[in-house]
Amino acid sequence: MSLNTISTQPFDGQRPGTSGLRKKVKVFQQPHYLANFVQATFDSIGDFSGQTLVVGGDGRYFNREAIQIIIKMAAANGFAKVLVGQGGILSTPAASCVIRKYKAFGGLILSASHNPAGPDEDFGIKYNIGSGGPAPEAVTEAIFERTSDISHYLIAQCPDIDLDKQGSFELAGMQVEVIDPVTDYADLMQSLFDFDAIRELLAGEFSMVFDAMHAVTGPYGKTIIEGILQAPVGTVINAEPKEDFGGGHPDPNLTYAHELVDILYGDNAPAFGAASDGDGDRNMVLGDHFFVTPSDSLAVMAANATLVPGYKDGISGVARSMPTSAAADRVAAALGIDCFETPTGWKFFGNLMDAGRVTLCGEESFGTGSDHVREKDGLWAVLFWLNILAVRKESVASILNDHWQRFGRNYYSRHDYEGVDSAAAEQVLQNVRDQFTTLPGTELAGRLIKTCDDFAYTDPVDGSISKNQGVRILFEDGSRIIFRLSGTGTSGATIRVYLESYEADSDKHGLDAQDALADMITAADAISKLRQLSGRDKPTVIT
Ligand code: G16
């Protein structure tokens, strides 16, 4: 067995986005493309000799090939051990759990999240640090810098590891341990939630459906929901992870999780429905004919956290990404705890959790999580809700109505325009920026504009500054219109428009969000010329 040094040349565009490097599979399949990025990562993360690396992915097309390359490069670069999920599978939160539990140096997670999978679709890779969280910007920037002057990489020349067999193997002097991808994660969940109470709930009248969308949470849902919690077989649907996610788009929202939505809005709907995404970190929660926005979900969890054993002593603080609605802020104020507003991207929560400043975090993009790991966690959120439902013994709708009664309702919606020409998308944001000085003090959608800005964030823990994180129009009454370009797409640009309006009067809490926000939607278009510039007369996705 030999360790080879392979000559290579830099590829353009290997800058990690909101959540790692995401490109078409065909881009990753170019000779040296993946290896360059992996070597640049290894060159940028410090001294890991003698340490452990965790590797796993969401099972999408090219997962297995990528893992074989990474394991051989880890051996050649001096890691002592690689922990890899059986079949190459580790959900993103499970990878975070394994990194933390076994005190690994870090991990490489292979996923393009909810983006479709298959030979012509997407692939992705990201590096997570020893805390289990996504590498902070300083590290991702260092990796990017390295990709632009890389000249060689190191790789062991040896046969592939059998990823389907659990056990410990030797590869070029390095130990490779193939682990069950679910066990450690399931143990962690049992330490946080009242499984007896949830089991009792599921044994009664209550019924639920969990849609794994042919992606990574299938085995996790089967083991935890149908196995340990003894829900009826068939509760977890689309449970077999497929390399192409069954040709679907495993993004748990009202558009792409339509199979689940149809069940929850159909006749004899179950009391609870949930879905997770490609890599298991996102979640959508539904009641019988009822959709819980991710922003409200975070707020309800924060308000009910002490009902859950793992959080019974209270939460230290809450954090939400800037475009997420301010519903959680109101709960934090009532609890007398801090609420932090960070840029989009789970990596921004890491420092706050490590410093003990926040326990719960959430994003409008169907992400919620806590300091039990350093990723958002889809199945954890589902279990959190089940624990609340088991204790309160009320419907999802009744819990939300009660919540709005107490805190008021933040009407909220996100409109996405996908696959827009990049220059046109930039112009949409620029059109709003051009009015930053003239808009404040004027009225829009019947509301007085207080201020406009490009959101910037100073990390309260390490002082790092992140600029240009979204164009904001902030109104005197707390309403907001925000424009942002997605950092996770792989073709063209995606414009996201976030709309929020607060309603204190409980007589007005029963509206459909699109109706409640109709004047803001019209105003957002008028001010940015969004539809004209994008050539679209309506959003691709509304959540
Ligand atoms: C990633 C990030 C999230 C972010 C989401 C959407 O999620 O981890 O923090 O909110 O993308 O980002 P953008 O609006 O830039 O597309 P995931 O589930 O794709 O890893």
DSSP 242-258: -TTGGGS----STTTTH
Cβ atoms of residues 403 and 410 within 8 Å: no
pLDDT band at 1 (very low <50, low <70, confident <90, very high): low
Domain match, 59 and 104 both: yes
Domain match, 437 and 302 both: no
As for ligand 1, residues whose beta carbon falls within 6 Å of it are: 18-19, 113-114, 277, 281-282, 321, 344-346, 363, 365, 367, 486-488, 496
429-437: long-range contacts (C-beta < 8 A, 24 or more apart)?
429/471, 429/483, 429/484, 429/485, 429/495, 429/528, 431/527, 431/528, 431/529, 431/533, 432/471, 432/473, 432/483, 432/527, 432/528, 433/471, 435/527
Of 179, 200, 226, which residue sits at a domain end? 179
Q: Is the pTM of this model over 0.85?
A: yes
* Residue 275: strand pairing partners: 211, 284
* Residue 178: strand pairing partners: 84, 167
Domain match, 232 and 375 both: yes
CATH number reported for the structural domain that contains residue 262 in this entry:
3.40.120.10
CATH number reported for the structural domain that contains residue 527 in this entry:
3.30.310.50
Cβ atoms of residues 92 and 77 within 8 Å: no
Domain span including residue 332: 185-407
CA 111 to ligand 1: nearest atom: 20
The mean per-residue pLDDT over the stretch 134-155 comes to 95
Among protein residues, the one with the nearest Cα to ligand 1's atom 3 is: 345
Among protein residues, the one with the nearest Cα to ligand 1's atom 18 is: 113
Q: Which of 15, 18, 281, 471 to mutate to test the pocket of ligand 1 (most atoms within 8 A of CB)?
A: 18
**Interval between CA 250 and ligand 1 midpoint (Å):** 14
Domain match, 484 and 369 both: no
**Interval between CA 365 and ligand 1 midpoint (Å):** 7
pLDDT band at 149 (very low <50, low <70, confident <90, very high): very high
The total domain count for the chain is 3
pLDDT(488) > 90: no
Query: Which residues does the annotation mark as catalytic?
Result: 113
**Interval between CA 231 and ligand 1 midpoint (Å):** 31
Percent above pLDDT 90 for the chain: 92
Q: Which single residue is written with the structure tokens 């719960």?
A: 360
Domain match, 353 and 226 both: yes
Give tens-digit pLDDT for 203-238. 999 999 999 999 999 999 999 999 999 999 999 999
Give tens-digit pLDDT for 402-417. 999 999 999 999 999 9
The mean per-residue pLDDT over the stretch 234-257 comes to 93
The mean per-residue pLDDT over the stretch 427-437 comes to 94
CA 365 to ligand 1: nearest atom: 10
User: 344-354: buried (b, 16+ CB within 10 Å) or exposed (e) per residue?
Assistant: bbbbbbbbbbb
**Interval between CA 137 and ligand 1 midpoint (Å):** 15
Q: Which single residue is written with the structure tokens 């990709």?
A: 147
Domain match, 522 and 426 both: yes
Domain match, 122 and 141 both: yes
Which of 139, 140, 113 shows the shortest CA–CA distance to 124? 113
Secondary structure class of 25 (helix, strand, coil): helix
Q: Which single residue is written with the structure tokens 């959680």?
A: 328
Domain match, 311 and 220 both: yes
* 30 token code pair: 């170019």
Cβ atoms of residues 142 and 132 within 8 Å: no
Domain match, 165 and 251 both: no
Of 149, 179, 209, which residue sits at a domain end? 179
Spatial CB neighbours of 251, under 8 Å, sequence gap ≥ 6: 114, 257, 277, 278, 282, 366
- Gap between the Cα atoms of 494 and 488, Å rounded: 9
Give tens-digit pLDDT for 361-402. 999 999 999 999 999 999 999 999 999 999 999 999 999 999
Of 179, 194, 218, which residue sits at a domain end? 179
- Gap between the Cα atoms of 236 and 221, Å rounded: 6
Domain match, 275 and 326 both: yes
Domain match, 337 and 192 both: yes
Domain match, 148 and 215 both: no
Q: Which of 364, 488, 490 to mutate to test the pocket of ligand 1 (most atoms within 8 A of CB)?
A: 488
**Interval between CA 20 and ligand 1 midpoint (Å):** 10
